[in-house]
Chains A and B, each alone.
Chain A
Amino acid sequence: MTDFVVAGAVLIIVVLIITRAVKRGGKCSGCAGCSGCGSNSGQDLNK
């Protein structure tokens, strides 16, 4: 049971992270979706 719960939780988290990453496409992480604002801050100032 513990195996099922722990591994299941990890699998769900991994799938969610990968789905989100694929959806965002080629965007640098940390930003809301980079539009080349050049802030170099990890935050997209254009959004």
Chain B
Amino acid sequence: MSLRIALAGNPNSGKTTLFNALTASTQYVGNWPGVTVEKKEGRIKGISADATLIDLPGIYSLSPYSLEEIIARDYIINEKPDVIISIVDASNLERNLYLTTQILELGVPVVVALNMMDIVQKRGDEIKIAALQKALKCPVIPISAASLTGLEALAKKVTEKLEKPQPLPFPKDIEQALDGIYRLIKDVESFNKYEPRWLSVKLFERDTNIYESVPPQIRDSIESIIKAAEEKYDDDSESIIINERYETVSKLLCGIYKKSCNKISVSEKIDNVMTNRILALPLFFLIMWGVYFVSIQIAGQITIGWMEEIIEWLSVGAETLLAAWGASEWVISLISGGIISGVGAVLVFVPQLTILYFFISILEDSGYMARVAFIMDRIFRRFGLSGKSFIPMLIGTGCTVPGIMASRTIENESDRRMTVILTPFIPCGAKLPVFAMFASMVFANAAWVGPSMYLVGMVMVIISGLILKRTKPFAGKTAPFVMELPEYRMPRFGSMAKNIWDKTKAFIIKAGTVIFAASAVIWFFKSFSFSLEYLGEDGIGQSMLAGFGQIIAPVFGPLGFGQWPYAVASLSGMVAKEMVVSVFAVLEPVGIFFTPVSAYAFMIFTLLAAPCIAAIGATRREMGSIKWTLFAVFYQTGIAYFMALLVNQAGRLLFADAESVQLIFAGAAHEGQAVSLAGNPMIYIMVAAAALFVILAVIKRSKKPLVAQAGRQRGKQI
């Protein structure tokens, strides 16, 4: 029978290189059921034994969080390979051994392949292999998969008869807790398939998949053991295990791993400039300005015209078609002036945002964004804020909801609460169309408009931090922030393409759903009176929307936008921030005018005011209190009001003669002249993108039967 050897390790630890080197040309590539994660199988060449190597997905841990982690751990637990090769990037030993500590608990013989030893030697670092082997209590083979060294020894070792590994010990009180848990569950039949040590640790961590299967009669006893440990360590059980694993690895490497002090790597050379005490922040803003210059100023000037032409064409086409079918004026208005205008106003920014996402992906994938967190930590700490607060804010640049949820990593309760309140100050993806709209229509595509919003957001985070830290509920020592900076690397095309595609898709889906519905609702209220009489474009002033808007509009007077359409647009941001653009487009017939000062005040208000309803929901969940959620909403809106007031009043003094500009949108019930799309490059780009999408979908689909067939041949369930 063939020996089955699983290959597990962190992404980028050289797994594929090792797999290809060991299996030569007999590799088999297939998809796992229902997921996009790739698995490879191949026969190990050059050894007498019949051995199959199974390449598991690249993972950082065996927690049930990512799909890759679940797949890898399910494979090991259910398929029970004969040996696991734990491939470790020797140039990044501490982080990589974290996964090894978990693999050692699975009860399957383990061989540690210490990869990239050539890099370690090149750096002048030293790893004492025999000592490491002794500490891990399992074979450790130094290799370099890229230069094919040490592979024979590795292949030979994995085919030898190996002992079951011994897991690394936790501190005594944790060991006692794990012991106590094991005694409670050792007779539960459904747990027999699991390795006792691994099972106890997972139950201690309250691993969702395992914990749910605990019989109710013993769950309380397990819970009391966990709670006692949590109280002792003042941390949640999962974090206790994570911290202890890193602690164990760190202690273990003491005296085993000797780092050379002489050599400076390329990453360190780049970091000497990019994270320089004085240059770091100006460089960050310069980079962000460059990104916005290209994506908003250059690309914006070109693509907005193309997109507007398409929306205009759709609008005129829909009007003509509906008129030919004998539709009433109000139905034509609903489709053209309501839905196409509202959704189209947001969609015109898709090309610009795609280009923006492209540059942001480069910054993320190259490792620069991790440095930004490091740079901000230095500034945050100076103002009494934890650097840990910046990670949720960095995530919040995409969407505030996961940003708020990422604050869970902050142990200190008051720091966490403050981070939840301040994260929405950072511009999320949904606010970008609002800024792009003003940048293109009021500020002549100026590149400084976008980055200035990030600057204002960060300044407000710092000022708010200073204010809140001086109040009783937020006072206290700031938690330390430790993070490992990844090496700089060339951005990978695959992960960048996925990132850009996911973000663009999410943006388009939102425009097609939430913005679609909200545009239709806004159109209804602006087109009908309280007696449900259709008013047409000339009677918008008597509409229900005008009625509601006029009640709240005076509040916004001091901010420079005190008429009802502006008040309605501003409040509509509570549904989704992009709605602000859609509402202005739907209400365009009223005439929307902004001076650069009132536009900037409006942007400031949109940036800082309470986030969308989804983010408020996330705030409620994370705060666990209505009182704190209301405090957050009122604090954010209060700060937004004050800052917009300041900008408007000061701006009016400084730029008294600034002229008003009317916001003009495509497709908003313009005079219906024919629009030709001949020569519009965006059409060709969209057709090419659609064709590429179809081709990729067909390729993906055509692969599935092959995988299923191969799976059946191998007697596996696919």
In the bound complex, residues from chain A placing their C-beta under 8 Å from that of B326 are 2
- A41 (CB) vs chain B CBs: closest residue: B502
Q: Is B620 an interface position by the 8 A CB rule?
A: yes
Could you say which residues of chain B place their CB within 8 Å of the CB of A3? Answer: 327-328, 330-331
Q: How far is the CA of A36 from the CA of B505 in the complex (A)?
A: 19
CB distance from A6 to the nearest CB of B (A): 5
Known A2-B326, A29-B576, A34-B401: A40·B517 in contact at CB below 8 Å: no
Binary interface encoding of chain B residues 396-409 relative to chain A, with 1 for a CB under 8 A from any of its CBs, else 0:
01111110011010
Knowing A26-B615, A34-B405, A41-B503, say if A21 contacts B514 (CB, 8 Å): yes
B505 adjacent to A30 (CB under 8 Å): yes
- Verify B327–A28 contact, CB threshold 8 A: no
Q: When the two chains form the complex, which single residue of A25, A39, A42 contacts B505, counting CB atoms closer than 8 Å?
A: A42
Note all chain B residues with C-beta closer than 8 A to A41.
398, 498-499, 502-503, 506
Interface residues of B in 610-666 (CB under 8 A from A): 613-618, 620-621
Q: How far is the CA of A15 from the CA of B617 in the complex (A)?
A: 21
Within the assembled complex, what's the spacing in Å between the Cα atoms of A43 and B499? 10
Chain B contact residues: helix, strand, loop or mixed:
helix
B324 and chain A: residue at smallest CB distance: A2
Interfacial chain A residues near B331, Cβ < 8 Å:
2-3, 6-7
Binary interface encoding of chain A residues 14-43 relative to chain B, with 1 for a CB under 8 A from any of its CBs, else 0: 100110110001111111001111111111
CB nearest neighbor in B for A11: B520
Q: A28-B399, A41-B502, A46-B66 are in contact. Are A6 and B322 (CB under 8 A)?
A: yes
Query: Does A37 lie within 8 Å of B334, measured CB to CB?
Result: no
Q: Which of A14, A27, A35, A39 interacts with B521 by CB under 8 Å?
A: A14
Q: For the complex, what is the distance from the CA of A31 to the CA of B401, rounded to whole Å?
A: 11
**Residue B684 lies at the interface, judged by CB distance under 8 Å to chain A:** no
Q: How far is the CB of A25 from chain B (nearest CB, A)?
A: 6
Known: A38-B406, A43-B502. A26 touches B401 (CB 8 A): yes
Q: For this complex, into which size category does the number of interface residues on chain B fall?
A: 35 or more
Closest to A26 in B: B617
Residue from B334, B521, B616 within 8 A of A26 (CB atoms): B616
Is B410 among interface residues, defined by CB-CB distance under 8 A? no
Chain B residues with CB under 8 A of A45: 65-67
Residue B339 interfacial (CB < 8 Å): yes
Q: Is B335 an interface residue (CB 8 A)?
A: yes
Q: Mark B501-522, 1 if CB is under 8 A from A, else 0.
A: 0110111011001101100110
The answer to whether B405 touches A36 (Cβ under 8 A) is yes
Report whether B506 and A42 are in contact in the complex, using a CB–CB cutoff of 8 Å.
yes
B65 near A37 (CB under 8 angstroms)? yes
In the complex, what distance in Å separates the CA atom of A40 from the CA atom of B498? 12
The distance in angstroms between the C-alpha atoms of A42 and B430, with both chains bound, is 12
- Quote the shortest CB–CB distance from B503 to chain A (angstroms): 6
- Given A38-B406, A41-B503, also A26-B621 (CB < 8 A): yes
| A2-B326, A42-B503 known; A36 vs B406 contact (CB < 8 Å) | yes
Residues of A with C-beta under 8 A to B617: 25-27
**Of B334, B401, B514, which one neighbours A17 at CB under 8 angstroms?**
B514
In the complex the two chains form, is B399's CB within 8 Å of A10's CB? Answer: no
Closest to A43 in B: B502
How far apart are the CA atoms of A25 and B400 in the complex, in Å?
A: 15
Report the bound CA distance from A46 to B505 in whole Å: 19
Q: Tell me which residues across on chain B come within 8 A of A36, comparing CB atoms.
A: 402, 405-406, 408
A residues less than 8 Å from B620 (CB atoms) = 26
Residues of A within 8 A of B67 (CB): 45
Q: Which residue of A lies closest to B407 (CB)?
A: A36
Q: Is B395 interfacial (CB 8 A cutoff)?
A: yes
The CA of A6 and the CA of B335, in the complex, are separated in Å by 9
- State the Cβ distance, A9 to closest chain B Cβ, in Å: 10
Contact flags B467-505 to A (C-beta < 8 A → 1, else 0) = 000000000000000000000000000000011001101
A43 / chain B contacts, CB cutoff of 8 Å: 502, 506
Contact of A40 with B399 in the complex, beta carbons under 8 Å: yes
**From B621, which residue of chain A is reached at the shortest CB distance?**
A26
B515 smallest CB distance to A (angstroms): 10
Closest residue of A by beta carbon distance from B622: A36
- Is there contact, CB below 8 Å, between A30 and B618? no
Name the CB-closest residue of B to A20: B513
Q: Which of A13, A18, A28 contacts B614 (CB 8 A)?
A: A28
Contact A13-B516, Cβ < 8 Å, known A6-B327, A6-B331, A26-B615: yes
What is the CB-to-nearest-CB distance from A1 to chain B, in angstroms, rounded to a whole number?
8
B401 contact set on A, CB distance < 8 A: 26-28, 34
Q: How far is the CA of A40 from the CA of B369 in the complex (A)?
A: 13
A17 to B690, CA, bound (A): 25
- A10 and B402 within 8 A (CB): no
Contact B402 A34 (CB under 8 A): yes
| Beta-carbon nearest neighbor of A15 in chain B | B517
B507 contacts which chain A residues (CB < 8 A)? 30, 42
Residues of chain A with a CB closer than 8 A to B330's CB: 3
A-B contacts, 9 listed (Cβ < 8 Å): A3-B328, A17-B513, A21-B514, A29-B506, A29-B513, A30-B510, A37-B402, A40-B399, A41-B398
Contacts A30-B507, A36-B406 supplied; 10 other A-B pairs, CB < 8 Å? A2-B327, A3-B328, A6-B334, A13-B517, A17-B514, A25-B617, A34-B405, A38-B395, A41-B398, A45-B66
The 4 closest A-B pairs by CB, nearest first: A26-B617, A30-B506, A36-B405, A42-B506
